[in-house]
Amino acid sequence: MAQDPGEAPALDELLARAHVVTLPMRVRFRGLTQREVALIDGPSGWGEFSPFLEYEPAEAAHWLASAIESAYGTSPLTHRDRIPINATVPAVPPGQVADVLARFPGARTAKVKVAEPGQTLADDVARVHAVRTAVATVRVDANGGWTVDEAVAAAHALTADGPLEYLEQPCATIEGLAELRRRIDTPVAADESIRKADDPLRVVRARAADVAVLKVAPLGGISALLAIARQIDVPVVVSSALDSAVGIGAGLTAAAALPELRHACGLGTGGLFVEDVAEPPLARDGFLSVGPVVPDPARLEALRAAGPRRDWWLRRIADCYPMLR
């Protein structure tokens, strides 16, 4: 839940503390070749405001609440000091899979993007097969790109040469996820059906998911994520929303605060950036360490967004501010 504006710092203070940067990416991901991010340097640490460009203020306000919590709030009690991560494989040709996986040293799990517009199920099968030859545990993410019938066919095709840990958001609707669960044996995970829903718990009540993929910023912050996790009876995977190192740090803290963590988390996406605002944390044996992230001033300066883009992001913060609740 977003923060009460009465408890939030003044808008002028947020704008004065904001740094807008542009992070170049190694490969196209979600159609992006660069990621614009606004960072807030607060008294408690750094917060990240980076809703995707198409998000309207009502949705983006959750991301602002998350940034404010990280910059001004207190950290939760944690139960572990390192988090297992999965490799993230964009919708690349099979020949590029090895190069992508090399950026996730020691990862025992890989999440593979599928159902990419303009590609076919055969492309997905070839990509998953290439990943499976290198990584023991494979999950796929369709971002709601399939109908139920398409998801059934994809589940059979993608498991022909081995199991999948789960299908992440194979269908766009909760009803579609619930029907799919009844028709296939592969577990189903929900992402958008939680983070984009007015009622994030509805997907679990509808028995539409075996796993909940939770992301800090879209849910309104670490506290909101942990509150949802306490109310659901399925395992939780904490994942990145293509965050900078600052947002990854918040995700690692959230994962560390969960009482139980059964699955690798999708927090290794820093490897998708050519440059980041802080030295990317090094995965050791498939784990990332938990700890605060402080951007490097030299990197902030080198990656600083051009004036018009900085102004656009500051206006966006101002547009979202009245919607904090």
Other CB atoms within a 10 A radius of the CB of residue 243 amount to 25
Inter-residue contact 228 to 257 (CB < 8 Å): no
The closest of 11, 6, 63 to 315, measured between CA atoms, is: 11
> 307-320 and 57-72 are packed helices; what angle lies between their axes, rounded to 10 degrees?
90
H/E run at residue 252: helix 245-257
Other CB atoms within a 10 A radius of the CB of residue 196 amount to 15
Among candidate residues 127, 215, 263, 316, the one labeled active-site is 215
**DSSP states of 30-64 as a string?**
TTEEEEEEEEEE-SS-EEEE---TT--HHHHHHHH
**DSSP states of 256-268 as a string?**
HHSS---S-BB--
182 burial via Cβ count (<10 Å: 0-12, 13-18, 19+):
exposed
d(CA 221, CA 325): 13
Among candidate residues 113, 127, 132, 263, the one labeled active-site is 113
E-state strands within the chain? 18-29, 32-41, 46-49, 82-84, 86-89, 109-113, 137-141, 167-168, 188-190, 211-214, 236-238, 287-289
Is 111 annotated as catalytic?
no
Catalytic positions: 113, 215
